[in-house]
Structure 1
Amino acid sequence: MIKISADQINHKVGAPYYLILGSDPYLQHYVQTELRKSFLQKGFDEQLTFVIDNQTDWTAIYDSCQAMNLFSANTLIFLDFGEGSLNAAITTKLNTLSEVLTPGIALVITLNKITKSQENANWYKALSDKLVVVNCTTPDTLQLPQWIKNHLQQQQMTIEPKAIELLCYYYEGNLLALTQIIAQLKLLYPNQSISYDEVENNINDSAIFTPYHWTDAMIANKTKRAIHILQQLKINEFEPLILLRIVQRELILMINLKKGLQQKSLKQVFDEYKVWQNKRTIYTSYLNRCDINDLFNLLAKLTEIEISLKHDNQARIWDAMFNLSMQFMGLDKC
């Protein structure tokens, strides 16, 4: 088995089986397109796509593996799970599929994620020796600058480092819009190094965030980033009540962690509440900065906002959310 990133796909064509893992729509489309072109050049003229869910006709998929095309003996099959995931019934179908694959069949499976236990399935083990796993997860805030640099190198473009930071700020989480603006810049400023001002004159705020980006930014005390994310959530008309629920869970967790630290070590408390390893550093810093009384005050403030929201006071709800963000980061004590 070989594991690669999406931008390495052109260097790893030729394998019979591919597993596209990750939910980024741009990266998924890019990898699928490159694979289609590569297999077409190799004589895989018949290319079939099946959307996988609980109503999928697996007999049609099995038949496509066994039926000889009149014009081509080579068939490329795409199994696209969309937003769906593996379950026991589908795993059984995949196990059967792996048993009927022939050398003339190439298989590309697109799946948002796979668990360690699911990797123990028969189909996964059967394909693994000839399988290429392609990571199509959206680059996070730390990975994005390097991703942009790699993309610029492929496009034979040069952009000032500060301008790359600007692209990260305005296009995080939205690779489609990011690649579109880079293509636009290439047309506007061919054969030259593109400056910060030239980028700034052509950008718009197209970043896509989740509420968890917001809470992580607040816990990490990244004020500018937290406010930017909240602004984008507002623009995209994200439901405020859902945001309040997510912050509420974080606050209750923080309170329980602070209480636990009175008798146990940090590691013991983190283990008890199953805090992810990649979040323990920012949680530790936040717990060292905050006081448990401040956390209770935040919880009371959040309750006030929710009561206000339920009385249909939509006009000021986002102002209250911004104030809550500042208070969460210790910049506006109540």
Structure 2
Amino acid sequence: WWVFGLDLSLHADIDVYQFQFFSELVKTKVGENDSVIIMTHEPHWLLDWYWNNVSGENVSHLICDYLKGRCKLRIAGDLHHYMRHSCVPSEGPVHVQHLLVNGCGGAFLHPTHVFSNFSQFYGKTYECKAAYPSFDDSSRIALGNILKFRKMNWQFDFIGGIIYFILVFSIFPQCQLDHILQDDSFSGHLRSFFGTVWNSFVYMLEHSFVSLAGVVLLLMLAFTFVPSKLALKKRAIIGILHVSAHLASAVILMLLLELGLETCIRHKLLATSGYHSLYQWYQSVETEHFPDPTGLRARIEQWTFGLYPACIKYLMSAFDVP
């Protein structure tokens, strides 16, 4: 048995020096009845199939034209799961008998179900003999990530909230939402609501600066994070759809928030105490618990030309819900 460790570097193939070394080794040392195991860092039989790509021409040349069926096993890691394929018996030479991904080294888990339809390599049919996690378990774990990611990374909500606030900064607040609540039917409410969403989006494109800049920046980031192996057109489409989904969510959440406030105001649950209610409460508590028999606060107000109480009042107004 021979074990060939190939360095594919970042080019998914061996260079001419490695090819020359291993081809000479096969011709001079490897016997006709010997068996060879080829080890690489990435399982390109899966990755090429997934990305609809062709790589490793020198490796293929070495296996098909020099080893000629003596490669019994190709083993790789990098993908953090276990998956073994074996060649289905058929007529003609078999260049590689078994394909093995052994990436369960303690890192995070990669899915297996995305490779469930892999079956062809070097013109031969392969069958998956084992996979960990199984295809069903992998699919179930992937679906669970939608909620588990947020549960495990709840701190990201702060970042997401800031991003969403920037996206709707220029169109917030919407002060005229009565038309949404005035329709008699549920379908009319929905029609008015999504019409307002569209009008807000158009307003952002035509008149806003901060929100539009946020959208452009987010679009650039979304385009960057799309895998570079995809075509430029596909990357642009995925990036635009991604940003559009976030923008729609941000606008819808903003309108729902304002509709909630509008509903509370209509039922007299808010806006019943007037402006600066928090400052008025502060003044009453201050007078009751912190008396000023010497009139110091009045003198400070006089010395600062009214700036001292005004600063407190308007700072509190930022946190005041009337």
Structure having greater relative contact order (Cα 8 Å, sep ≥ 6): 1
TM-score between the two structures when normalised by the length of structure 1: 0.25
User: What TM-score, normalized to structure 2?
Assistant: 0.26
